[in-house]
């Protein structure tokens, strides 16, 4: 007799009690379902004392950050700041080809910007009579993330560079589960980000973690989202990794390559939607191989990038199968991408299952 409406009410009550009537809460939002649902719940509970921060890392999909702003701020009434970090992220990624290094740079840059913003919010709060310190950090952790983190062996065994939806290294979530207290008084102390939060923001007290979705599975979060009046398109959205297009380009992420992958992805996803098969696929994107292949344009030979289309079905994202498109549709997708995206000479479809492949390219 577990009901979603009861859950919302209970959770709001719990959040209000925990946070009290002064403290501020911050949380990163990616535009994905988990962080959006968590942010909406927080807004229902404490209004503008919840501060959502969206960082555009320059590796988002076409118009994504603009849409996040529209949806969260205008439609859902969430107190949101959007930060354009494109220049900083792409600058730091210049010349970097190693996958783990790319992830690390993206995660650290995210933290740098997020921390700056958190400090700014706290400063601003100081001047308003009713506002309190930023003492909570919202994280859209789901039950499967909790389970995953419990299987870690200890500090050295954590997966440092896998980011959660907000983009913070997962280690910062995972470690929190090593504090077996009451489920809320756990401090973020696991990594660079959190230790910096501790010293700078929290006067040594530590930023406390708020995880309203930690007992829910993905389909329950989607239901919760519908109840909170979040648009169906967002509720059903394909997952998008924190490092974004960065893990969908095999090698260095240059602005040119990012733009090509972004345009190709937009065509691919639009055609999936037009074919009314979006809901049959669990996740899809267009990636880019940085080696170039020969193509023909008019009557000249050209060198162009190779686009890798990936679409999978999965129930748990631990294993996955390639989606079986009608061949004619795949060919139509390839044709449009080559014709419409400058710099692409061919298109391939990734037939790998997971394992041995992964869903993302890197
Ligand atoms: P893989 O590529 O490991 O991905 O098969 C499994 C699922 O996790 C997502 N993924 C990420 N999500 N930050 C995220 O927020 C990441 O760093 C990250 N890496 C992979 C991936 O999109 C897929 O849904």
Domain ranges in the chain are: 4-227, 248-349
Residues of the chain with pLDDT > 90, as a percent, come to: 61
b/e map 10-45, b = 16+ CB within 10 Å? ebbeebeebbeeebbbbbbbbbbbbbbbbbbbbbbb
Closest Cα to atom 10, ligand 1: which residue?
241
Provide the pLDDT for residue 203: 35
Out of 55, 238, 241, 316, mutate this one to test ligand 1's pocket (max ligand atoms within 8 Å of CB): namely 241
CATH T-level fold of 248-349: GMP Synthetase; Chain A, domain 3 (3.30.300)
Which option is the CATH number for 4-227: 3.40.50.970, 3.40.50.620, 3.30.565.10, 3.40.50.2300?
3.40.50.620
281 in Cβ contact with 81 (< 8 Å):
no
- Fold match flag (4-227 vs 248-349): no
Question: Is the minimum distance from the CB of 168 to ligand 1 under 6 angstroms?
Answer: no
**Residue 264 clears pLDDT 60, i.e. is over it:** yes
Using pLDDT thresholds of 50, 70 and 90, give the confidence band for residue 121.
confident
The residue-averaged pLDDT of 329-333 equals 98
pTM over 0.90? The answer is no
Provide the pLDDT for residue 145: 67
DSSP label at residue 354: B
Question: Is the minimum distance from the CB of 165 to ligand 1 under 6 angstroms?
Answer: yes
Q: What ipTM does the predicted assembly reach? A: 0.99
**Which residues are CB-neighbours of 275 under 8 A, at least 6 positions away?**
329
Provide the pLDDT for residue 89: 97
pLDDT tens-digit readout, 163-191: 333 334 433 333 332 222 333 323 333 33
Distance 126 CA to ligand 1 centre (A): 38
Question: Is the minimum distance from the CB of 171 to ligand 1 under 6 angstroms?
Answer: no
Provide the pLDDT for residue 129: 63
Higher-pLDDT residue of 130 and 339 is 339
């Amino acid at each position: 007799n577990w009901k979603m409406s009861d859950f919302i009410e209970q959770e709001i009550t719990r959040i209000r009690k925990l946070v009290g009537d002064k403290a501020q809460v911050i949380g990163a939002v990616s535009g994905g379902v988990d962080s959006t649902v968590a942010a909406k719940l927080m807004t229902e509970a404490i209004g503008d004392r919840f501060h959502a921060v969206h960082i555009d890392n320059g590796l988002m999909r076409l118009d994504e950050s603009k849409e996040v702003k529209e949806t969260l701020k205008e439609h859902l009434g969430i107190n949101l700041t959007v930060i354009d970090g494109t220049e900083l992220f792409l600058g730091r990624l210049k010349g970097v080809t190693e996958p783990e290094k790319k992830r690390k740079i993206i995660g650290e840059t995210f933290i740098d910007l997020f921390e700056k913003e958190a400090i700014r919010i706290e400063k601003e709060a100081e001047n308003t009579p009713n506002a309190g310190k930023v003492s909570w950090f919202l994280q859209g952790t789901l039950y499967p993330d909790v389970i995953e983190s419990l299987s870690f062996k200890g500090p050295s065994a954590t997966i440092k560079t896998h980011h959660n939806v907000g983009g913070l290294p997962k280690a910062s979530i995972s470690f929190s589960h090593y504090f077996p207290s009451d489920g809320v008084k756990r401090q973020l102390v696991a990594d660079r980000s959190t230790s910096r939060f501790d010293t700078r923001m929290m006067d040594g007290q530590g930023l406390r973690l708020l995880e309203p979705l930690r007992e829910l599975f993905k389909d329950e979060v989607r239901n919760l989202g519908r109840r909170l009046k979040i648009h169906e398109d967002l509720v059903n959205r394909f997952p998008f990794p924190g490092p974004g297009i960065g893990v969908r380009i095999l090698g260095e992420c240059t602005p040119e390559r990012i733009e090509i992958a972004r345009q190709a992805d937009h065509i691919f996803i639009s055609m999936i939607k037009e074919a009314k098969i979006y809901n049959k696929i669990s996740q899809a994107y267009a990636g880019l191989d940085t080696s170039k292949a020969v193509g023909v344009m008019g009557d000249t030979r050209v060198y162009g990038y190779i686009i890798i289309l990936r679409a999978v079905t999965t129930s748990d994202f631990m294993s996955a199968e390639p989606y079986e498109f009608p061949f004619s549709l795949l060919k139509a997708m390839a044709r449009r991408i080559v014709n419409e995206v400058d710099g692409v000479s061919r298109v391939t479809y990734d037939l790998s299952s997971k394992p041995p492949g992964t869903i993302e390219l890197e």
